[in-house]
Amino acid sequence: MTDTSLVIAGKSFKSRFLLGTGKFKNKKDLKESIASSHSEIVTVALRRIDLERHEENILEYIPSHVTLLTNTSGARNAQEAVRLARLGRASGYGHWVKIEVINDSKYLLPDNQETVKATEILCAEGFVVLPYIAPDLYTARALVKAGAATVMPLGSFIGSNQGLKTRELIQVLINEIDVPIVVDAGIGAPSQAAEAMEMGADAVLVNTAVATAQNPPMIARAFAQAIEAGRLAYLSGLPQQEPAAHASSPLTGFLYDELDANQKHS
Amino acid sequence: MNLTQIKNILEDRRADSVEKLALEAALLTRQQFGRAISLYGPLYLSNFCSSHCTYCGFHSQNKIQRIKLEPEQYRKEMQFIHNQGLRNILMLTGESYKHTPVAYLKEAAAVASEYFQGLSLEVHPMQTDEYKELFAAGVDGITVYQETYDRARYAQVHLSGYKKDYDFRYATPFRAAEAGMRQISLGVLLGLADAAEDLYALYQHLRELEKTYPGVEYSVSFPRLRTVKDKTLASCDVDDWQFVKIIALTRLMFPRVGLNLSTREEPRLRDHLLEIGITRMSAGSNTSVGGYTLLDEEKQNPQFDIKDERPVDEIVRLLKSRNFDPVFTDWRHIENKS
């Protein structure tokens, strides 16, 4: 069985691993992590792009074949996200934008309502919008209606490495939403990324777990492989998990008991 | 955490307990911030001051030359800071509505916007509407230290001027947040009162702010009292040992809060604190009005003496050699609307 490509807004990607670029200790690690993982979509905070200095400009470290996904990190409401996105497009960073609206500096949970508003405005202006949300079915439906290219629910608190704490809510989105579901935030280990893919997520975005690892390029590759493994498992269909002892038929075994008894008598 | 617990932690002198605290703090810092360290430069616009704070080099009774930079002068200073590579600026004045009114600060903000992506002010406390005006003019951050939360001590060291009003100052960060400010920095001046009590009160202040204005990025500073032109105006009894614990404990209490460190501290301590919890630092600083480009050193009147005189490029090299990522820009100018 062969996999199909991930398609977002009509563009095909072989890799289902999206990489975030924050928190890296140096830009060389970032560049090598993109290469080792073969990630084709890389997200960059607009607020962190240093336009004037080549050496510090993160964009210099992202190969040209990679799709640049700017993000609106730092925006506290829809209006700020919209203004940042427009500034990014006007500065020549393309029209793919991850909407991130966070108005809580303690938990960093996204504001779903403001995210929907920003998505409506930016989709109408021709942006390809990938909104980041706390998993919620109604929000996801509103985003699809607004024209979102994907829906990106969080697995757990951003940067927490806690994995799929929101598993059941993400499963609902996978079941009900027709645009690609990209699990974003909280994925701290390749096994957790594989789990998301086995559930049927279309892709996974990882940042902290790669950036803060001892060897970012190596763990980036591990994530990419886990995502591929999880995807294949999903496509093949996971075998049903069974209780350990399954030799007898506790509910219908009696049918055969009787049969046995009859046979003995005959 | 209650006051007794904080006191116990600060008084505990065992090497293994401070190491354990530092380790926990370091892990949290890396998880929340990675190895990114934001850099900023201070710019003193004016030293006119109507408050008499006994520990400060700018206080109203101190017979120093009073200077207020004119636009062409601060532009020159801004260009200097910009050329050092910094893109976040903290503009400071003494506390004087008369000499540095909102109109003056707005003009400075407009010029600063040409050179910097992040604009913060550390000036006299103002009203919400004034903060709104400044926010609309491009100012994103306000720094306002309570200095000490011990009311009796506060009254002893703040003898006259607006700063005498403890409650007005306490409510200042709330007004700034209400006006839409993106970053708010609080702090206590270590050496004025009991450190544990000040820490406890600061945590309460911060918690109250977080609940009321959750969208603001908060940061905290713990300046230790310094000499001014080698003259001691007050002394700080918080030693390095306790200082490390204050940084670590604050990180444990507030995993997401920014922790600032100024050039008051010595290079060796600054370098080590980066591993434990610091996320923002000033670099290449001069704390005199006109100190970067306009006045010779002997004519300068610093607010406090600095101990880390390394220029910005040296700090950047040091950060990189220690596997930190120096962050120059952390925001983009968008039209600010409250």
The residue type found at A92 is G
Amino acid (one-letter) located at B84 = Q
- pLDDT score, position B295: 76
Does residue A117 form part of some domain? yes
Residues 244-273 of B with CB under 8 A from A: 256
Is residue A199 over pLDDT 90? Answer: yes
Separation between Cα atoms, residue B288 and residue B77, nearest integer Å: 11
For residue A63, being part of any structural domain is answered with yes
The helix (run of H) or strand (run of E) holding residue A13 is: strand A11-13
Fill in the DSSP letter of residue A60: G
Q: Which of B329, B330, B331, B338 is most worth mutating to test chain A (most A CB atoms within 10 A of its CB)?
A: B329
pLDDT of residue B234: 59
State the DSSP code for A182: E
Q: Do A26 and B323 touch (CB under 8 A)?
A: yes
A96 three-state secondary structure: strand
Is residue B335, in this structure, part of any structural domain at all?
Answer: no
Residue with tokens 């710019």: B43
Taken in order A115, A117, A119, A125, the sign of the CA dihedral is negative
pLDDT at A266 over 70: no
CB contact under 8 A, B31 and A76: no
From A84, A103, A159, residue closest to B332, measured CB to CB: A84
Mean pLDDT of the A175-195 span: 95
Q: What is the DSSP letter of A20?
A: E
Write out the two tokens for A72: 């609106």
Q: Is B127 a domain residue?
A: yes
- The contact set of A with B (CB < 8 A) is 22-27, 46-50, 53, 56, 74, 76, 79-80, 83-84, 87, 102-106, 108, 159-161, 208, 211-212
* Total tally of structural domains belonging to chain B: 1
Residue A117: pLDDT band (50, 70, 90) is very high
Q: What is the pLDDT of residue A2?
A: 65
CB contact under 8 Å between A24 and B34, yes or no, is: yes
Q: Does the CB of B115 have a partner CB in chain A at under 8 Å?
A: no
Tens of pLDDT, residue by residue over B14-27, are 888 899 999 999 99
User: Residue A44 forms beta bridges with which residues?
Assistant: A70
Q: Within a domain: residue B75?
A: yes
- Whether A31 is a known active-site residue: answer no
Average pLDDT over residues A62-83: 91
Q: What is the pLDDT of residues A134-162, one digit of tens each?
A: 999 999 999 999 999 999 999 998 878 88
Domain assignment present for residue B68? The answer is: yes
How many angstroms separate the Cα of B103 from the Cα of each of A30, B21, B91, B303? 44, 46, 14, 24
> What's the pLDDT at B230?
57
Cα(B26)–Cα(A177) distance, integer angstroms? 40
| Residue B246 · residue B199 · CB < 8 Å | yes
Range with lowest mean pLDDT among A103-117, A165-179, B120-134, B288-302: B288-302
Provide, as residue numbers in chain A, all residues whose Cβ is less than 8 Å from the Cβ of B182.
74, 76
CATH of the domain at B21: 3.20.20.70
The predicted model scores a pTM of 0.83
Decide if A127 is inside a domain.
yes
The answer to whether position B330 is within a domain reads no
Quick one: residue B288, left, alpha or beta (phi over 0 = left, psi -120 to 50 = alpha)?
A: beta
Residue B2 CA to residue B7 CA, distance in Å, equals 9
A1 within a domain of the structure (yes/no): no
Work out how many domains chain A is built from and give that number: 1
Distance in Å, alpha carbon of B165 to nearest chain A alpha carbon: 29
What is the Cα–Cα distance from B258 to B219, expressed in whole angstroms? Answer: 4
Q: Is B162 on the interface with A (CB under 8 A)?
A: no
Ranges of chain B whose pLDDT falls below 50 = none
- On whether the CB atoms of residues B51 and B164 are closer than 8 A, the answer is yes
Arithmetic mean of pLDDT, A189-195: 96
Note down the domain range covering B79. 3-325
Chain segment B49-80, per-residue pLDDT in tens: 877 887 777 777 777 788 899 999 999 999 99
Going B293 to B294 to B299 to B302, the CA torsion angle's sign is negative
Dist CA A82 CA A74 (whole Å): 12
Task: Answer whether residue A246 shows pLDDT above 80.
Answer: no
- Substitution target from B251, B320, B325, B333 for chain A, most A beta carbons within 10 A: B325
More confident residue, A211 or B297: A211
The residue range of the domain holding A239 is 6-265
How many Å apart are CA A78 and CA B37, to the nearest integer? 28
pLDDT(A54) > 60: no
CA distance A26 to chain B (A): 6
Tell me, what's the pLDDT at B238?
A: 82
Which residue in the set A23, A84, A160 is minimally distant from B36, CB to CB?
A: A23
- Burial bucket for residue B58 (CB in 10 Å: 0-12, 13-18, 19+): buried
Q: What is the 3-state secondary structure (H, E, C) of chain B?
A: CCHHHHHHHHHCCCHHHHHHHHHHHHHHHHHHHCCEEEEEEEEEEECCCCCEECCCCCCCCCCCCCCECCHHHHHHHHHHHHHCCCCEEEEEECCCCCCCCHHHHHHHHHHHHCCCCEEEEECCCCCHHHHHHHHHCCCCEEECCCECCCHHHHHHHEEECHHHCHHHHHCHHHHHHHCCCCEEEEEECECCCCHHHHHHHHHHHHHHHHHHCCCCEEEEECCECCCECCECCCCCCCCHHHHHHHHHHHHHHCCCCEEEECCCCCHHHHHHHHHHCCCEEECCCCCCCCCCCCCCHHHCCCCCCCCCCCCHHHHHHHHHHCCCEEECCCCCCCCCCC
Count other C-beta atoms under 10 Å from residue B198's C-beta: 26
d(Cα A240, Cα B33) in Å, to the nearest integer? 41
Question: What's the confidence (pLDDT) of residue B331?
Answer: 79
Q: What is the pLDDT of residues A26-52, one digit of tens each?
A: 888 989 999 999 999 999 888 877 666
Q: CB pairs below 8 Å between A and B: how many?
A: 76
Task: Say if residue A11's pLDDT is above 70.
Answer: yes
Average pLDDT value for chain A = 88
Assess if residue B336 is contained within a domain: no
Q: Which of B35, B36, B331 sits opposite A74 (nearest CB)?
A: B331
Instruction: Select the residue from A31, A47, A207 to test the B interface by mutation, using most B Cβ atoms within 10 A.
Output: A47
Q: Which two tokens stand for residue B172?
A: 């200042």
Residue A178 lies in a domain: yes
The answer to whether residue B155 sits within a structural domain is yes
Q: Which two tokens stand for residue B127?
A: 């009203």
Give the pLDDT mean for A64-81: 92
* CATH code of the domain covering residue A27: 3.20.20.70
How far apart (Å, rounded) are the C-alpha atoms in residues A226 and B172?
50
Q: Which residue among the candidates A11, A31, A98, A145 is catalytic per the annotation?
A: A98
pLDDT at A118 > cutoff 90: yes
